[in-house]
Structure 1
């Protein structure tokens, strides 16, 4: 079985990446890894500053940075505004920041011009008023696919996977856009020999290239909510029927190589014919 890269992500999977050294956000149906972009934004600030934290890190929680920007009334220096704005929303969906693929705009109270609305203000090199001479220093994180790691699902749903051989059951939260094969990748840590089983629902074999809905596995949570029943009252179950395990490593008696590592990789030139 070939392990494929994950394409769809749930909100819970994005939410766990919420630290300065591992920061993900979702926007407009895409998931972005903005860790390197944030680090570049913090390098822009060249103010001579002192930190009250003994660790001297820009991501301290209980320290105050004293720099010329702080004396002007800003808690964070100008060079960190864009980075802090994104870092404070790490692991969240930021689709409401955009409209038609660009930032939401508002009328500035001082200049009277339409500018992008940013909660913590513009960066110190990003002008508030329009200017034909201004150019961004680096590619914005929301522009292009440089920082894209996957797609954000529009809807998640639970699914139960029951192994009829062992009787074990695992409940997974999957993306509604994922195919059965992609769901198998999520189940892979629980059973690495998936190709030795037939996946069935209500006695019918499933097509691995189709989604749960396309395979006739409905999501009835809305119907339960309409009649005041718990959404998890019934979760559809996929049954795994054991066929034959062809993915097992060969027993030691069948390996004619003296190299112990051949039990894992099994290079073709490692084995000798039993008749020789």
Structure 2
């Protein structure tokens, strides 16, 4: 088996992975298809009341906060002033100006956090799926949730905690070696979740199985 394990693109994350980062010292969110690590922001503004809505949203998708066309926070007309303002029903948060002019509003923060690419760490998967990986050498089996957009090398990386020598195996589906540069779908491993759902069939009973066959070269990944 050959292949370059250097990852040339942003990693994909499942919503479940994002949800695990839900504390003040480990704070991720997702919005508009991207995943962001806001831990540095939380550390910088610890104790600020405007951080509260962000803390409450830790580990969640907050796309509903934003206008998908502009990438900015949604706006509305203030019924009292008749002026355009940010729409924040969950409470005003960091870098959102007060609804009325005030002399103590600090605008020196530069770019608002939701437009700062520094916080972006990856892409939120639009569709996840489960697969079983069976090591034919040891008969060990693991069920993994993977992103449908990931190629086999990226899925291999997910499997490394269970088998550090994963790249020393040939990965096969129905006896056919998989192209590690392609996705599961591109390799003919169809995602039938929707069909199973329509037929009221438990998809857990039909999870696709990937079989690993040990090669001669024992190369730790």
Report the CA distance between 1:245 and its aligned residue.
3.4
What TM-score comes out, normalization by structure 1 length? 0.70
Report the CA distance between 1:173 and its aligned residue.
0.2
Kept in 2, the 8 Å contact 1:127–1:134? The answer is no
Task: Trace 1:1-276 onto structure 2 (pairs within 5 A).
Answer: 4=6, 7-42=11-46, 58=47, 79-81=48-50, 83-99=51-67, 100=69, 101-118=71-88, 119-121=90-92, 126-129=97-100, 135=107, 137-247=109-219
- Structure ranking higher on relative contact order (CA contacts 8 Å, 6+ apart): 2
Report the CA distance between 1:123 and its aligned residue.
5.8
Give the length in aligned residue pairs: 211
Report the CA distance between 1:184 and its aligned residue.
0.3
Gaps of 5+ in 2: none
Off by >3 Å, runs of 4+ in structure 1: 1-6, 122-125, 133-136
Larger radius of gyration between Structure 1 and Structure 2: 1
Kept in 2, the 8 Å contact 1:30–1:148? The answer is yes
Report the CA distance between 1:125 and its aligned residue.
8.1
Gaps of 5+ in 1: 43-57, 59-78, 249-276
Kept in 1, the 8 Å contact 2:25–2:42? The answer is no
C-alpha RMSD over aligned residues: 2.4
Quick check: 138-147 or 210-219, which moved more? 138-147
Whole-angstrom CA distance in 2 between matches of 1:149 and 1:86: 17
* Partner deviation per Cα, 1:186-205 (whole Å, 9 max, x = no partner): 10111111232111111211
Whole-angstrom CA distance in 2 between matches of 1:134 and 1:19: 27
